[in-house]
A = this chain, B = another copy of it.
Amino acid sequence: MGVKKKSGKGRKRLLAGVDIGGTKLHVIVARADGTVLSRARSKLKGETAFVPVMKRVVACLEKACAGADVRLRDLGAVGVGAPSAVRADGVAVNAPNMGWRNVPVARKLASLTRRPVVVGNDCDVGTLGEYVFGAGRGSESLVGLFVGTGLGGGIVHHGQLISGENHLAAELGHMIVSVDGRECGGGHRGCLEAYASKSGMGRRFQREKARVKRSLLAREDVDLANVRSGVLSRAYRAGDELVREVVDEAARYLGVGVANVITCLGPDTIVLGGGVIEALGKEMLPTVRAAAKVHVFPPPSFRDTRIVLARLGDDAVALGAVAYALQVVKPGKR
């Protein structure tokens, strides 16, 4: 390994994956087989305007490339996952966490990097990442459910993402499971996210302030509307009654969502991921599976779907963006 940067055809197959989140960027450089060679991160600290974020992405890309000993211009392609509905041309239609509407992510990044850029919704590409490189390896069709502040989803059918003709679909967190039920953060009533997400759990904590005061949450510095996953998992493991009740309720509703996915789409694998699952997946999984078994139809269909935890952790979206870039750009064949 010399100090001189490598270039030429042998290096063309390195790719970058970018995960644009509401609070941070996470960039990787990886081989086409999913091996991550380097990572770079950057906190956004509330600076989410479109052009500055794009410049931060490029700076992160440069840093990750340096870590992998490759020049940005020698990357085969750059894949991006963004917290937005994304059109096929790489325009982010609506990213409420970023304050973006109809911003040309692919075009802007391609012009800044001179590389082919492919952009998808973060949960969509995260699901593709698990399908290609993670817990879904070897499956034919896969649905991902990512539980964090909200609940996002992704659908991969025989290798292809299904995101709807409007590129707004696979909003699995917003399927109605309880007509006229609880409201979610987006003002939508009775949807899965209103129960099975940190914001959903948060609304229940806010309604039960008296119980919160007697719970282990009272000992921590928490924002009741959005209790951190780590705090939830500590309290859960310590046996806190309220936290157990609320987390178990979330797991039960997640199981209803899983049942609906099996009933309607019958994938061979369902992957559960996101911050809440990373912190509490092992504790929640038995309840999720039991609830799915109760609510799926017909019962025999259940046995054919594996319900598993995500494997790619923080890299899921960035690795999924790499997988998406490989699928769309086919940089190895250029």
List chain A positions with a Cβ less than 8 A from chain B. 85, 94, 140-141, 153, 155, 157, 162-172, 174-179, 181, 186, 188-191, 253, 256, 259-260, 262-268, 295, 297-298, 300-301, 304-305
Contacts and interface: CB of A to CB of B under 8 A. Distances in A.
B304 A166 contact: yes
B264 A171 contact: yes
Contacts of A268: 165-166
Nearest to A257: B176
Contacts of A178: 177-179
A266 B169 contact: yes
A167 B304 CA distance: 10
17 contacts: A85-B298, A94-B298, A140-B165, A141-B164, A155-B265, A162-B265, A164-B267, A168-B266, A169-B263, A169-B265, A171-B263, A171-B264, A175-B263, A175-B264, A176-B259, A190-B295, A264-B264
Contacts of A162: 157, 265
A265 B163 CA distance: 7
A303 to B, nearest CB: 8
A141 to B, nearest CB: 6
B266 A167 contact: yes
A206 to B, nearest CB: 22
* Copies of this polypeptide in the complex: 2
Contact of A298 (B171, B181, B264, B266): B171
B191 A297 contact: yes
Given A172-B264, A297-B186, A304 B179 contact: no
B298 A175 contact: no
Contacts of A267: 164-165
A99 to B, nearest CB: 16
Contacts of A260: 175-176, 260
A278 B167 CA distance: 32
A178 B256 CA distance: 10
Given A171-B264, A171-B297, A256 B176 contact: yes
Contact of A256 (B164, B179, B265, B266): B179
Given A94-B300, A177-B177, 18 more contacts: A155-B264, A157-B157, A164-B262, A165-B267, A165-B268, A165-B305, A166-B304, A169-B262, A169-B264, A169-B266, A170-B265, A170-B266, A171-B264, A174-B263, A174-B298, A175-B175, A176-B259, A189-B295
Contacts of A266: 163-170
Contact of A301 (B166, B179, B262): B166
Nearest to A163: B266
A188 B297 contact: yes
Contacts of A179: 177-178, 181, 253, 256, 295
A66 B265 CA distance: 40
A297 B194 CA distance: 13
A316 to B, nearest CB: 20
A268 B168 CA distance: 11
A264 B177 CA distance: 13
Contacts of A94: 298, 300
Nearest to A252: B179
